[in-house]
Amino acid sequence: MKIICKICNNIIEDNYHFHKLHKISQKDYLHKYEPKKDLFDGSSIEFKGNYESYIQADFNSRLNLREYLKKVSKEEGIHYLTGWLMRRKEIKNLIYSMGQFETKTLLFPSITFIEKFYGKGSYNQICEKAGLQIKFNLEYFTQIIYKEKIEIICDTREQNLLKFSNIKIQKLPVGDYAPNPNPQNIFIERKSLSDLLGSISGGYERLVKELQRAKDSNSYLIFLIEEKFQNITSFKYLPHIHSKCSIDYVFHQIRQLCIDFPQNCQFLAVDGRKEAVRVINLIFYLQNGIRNIDLEYIYNMDLL
């Protein structure tokens, strides 16, 4: 995305452009030359260190966004959401619709909110209006058939094994866990919150390489985080977590993985290790269609 400086009319190459050439901070530049107002309460949009996020933001909080959608007519709300997705599609060169995990990391309503507020099937309809291909069938999970028993394979490199009743240790091409048999090439990579932050800050290239291997072998990798989504967003306040990453950076990198490998990964946050065991068992019981199921969505709907 090319950005033109409104002071010198040159392309802005980096965040230091304003300070180096104009002796002004990026925040002061934006507030003076590209001011934005919250569509709900008219307050100035806060700059939080990222130009792209500032330009896309129409609200200062998810609460203001929801209140705005409740205030305007349903038609206006759908029009706004469609336009927002169209802008993001152009900026990010998007092809596919976002999953629930991605929507929760942006100033955009969650899929659960949209489906409850605008009606069943409304999210995918909005995405189609924005010209996006639908990644997940939100109703597909109702057709799932469960197996009675399944063996779970754990990768030999897994250091902190989850406790399953029927487990086999074996080297896996990607991820930490897989069902046996595994005709759909589905794998789960378990991550504590600390693991996730470490992978994003220092091991991002390894994640990309792993997903490239998954893509090359037509495999599907589910990143299962052993932490409630709310705790991920507020990890700075957790005493056992020490990371210099910002949550905006973490979520940006996760969304980029979903954009770069839309047919090979998704992210799911669950409430702890015991819950991870339960959810992994259920995911692996699914005989088919896992790639078409938005796991974060059905987990939030208490359907997983």
219 domain residue, yes or no: yes
Shared-domain flag, residues 166 and 282: yes
pLDDT surpassing 80 at residue 147: no
pLDDT recorded at residue 119: 95
The enclosing domain of 269 has a CATH number of 3.40.50.10130
Residues 162 and 125 grouped into a single domain: no
Query: Do 296 and 152 fall within a single domain?
Result: yes
The 10s digit of each residue's pLDDT in 229-266 is 999 998 887 777 778 788 888 999 999 999 999 999 99
Query: What tokens were used for 53?
Result: 């996020």
Side by side, the strands of the sheet bearing 151-154 are 167-169, 151-154, 177-180, 186-191, 220-225, 265-269
pLDDT tens digits, residue range 136-145? 988 766 555 5
Assess if residue 15 is contained within a domain.
no
Query: Can you tell me the distance from the alpha carbon of 108 to that of 77, in angstroms, rounded to the nearest whole number?
Result: 12
258 and 281 in a single domain? The answer is yes
Are 276 and 161 members of one domain? yes
Last residue within a domain, chosen from 70, 96, 129 = 129
Residue 140's pLDDT is: 61
Kindly state whether residues 94 and 186 are assigned to the same domain. Answer: no
The answer to whether residue 22 sits within a structural domain is no
Mean pLDDT of the chain: 91
The pLDDT, as a whole number, for residue 236 is: 81
Residue type present at position 173 = P
Q: How far apart are CA 188 and CA 154, in angstroms?
A: 10
pTM listed for this prediction? 0.90
Question: Are both 71 and 159 inside the same structural domain?
Answer: no
Q: Last residue of a domain, which of 129, 154, 189?
A: 129
Whether 181 and 283 map to the same domain: the answer is yes
Rounded to whole angstroms, the Cα distance separating 148 from 88 reads 43
Total domain count, the chain: 2
Evaluate whether residue 28 is within a structural domain. no
Give tens-digit pLDDT for 71-113: 999 999 999 999 999 999 998 999 999 999 999 999 999 999 9
For residues 215 and 261, the answer to whether their CB atoms sit within 8 Å is yes
Both structure tokens of 120: 């069943």
Are 66 and 201 members of one domain? no
| Any domain includes 23 | no
**Residues spanned by the domain of 121:** 60-129
The pLDDT value given to residue 148:
61
In a domain, 175, yes or no: yes
Of 100, 129, 158, the residue that ends a domain is 129
Above 70 in pLDDT, residue 1? no
Cross-strand partners of 190: 224
Residues 116, 155, single domain; the answer is no
Do 113 and 171 share a domain, yes or no? Answer: no
Q: d(Cα 157, Cα 154) in Å, to the nearest integer? A: 8
Would you say residue 7 lies in a domain? no
Q: What pLDDT score was predicted for residue 287? A: 63
Residue 284 inside a domain? The answer is yes
182 and 221 in contact (C-beta within 8 Å)? no
288 and 148 part of one domain: yes
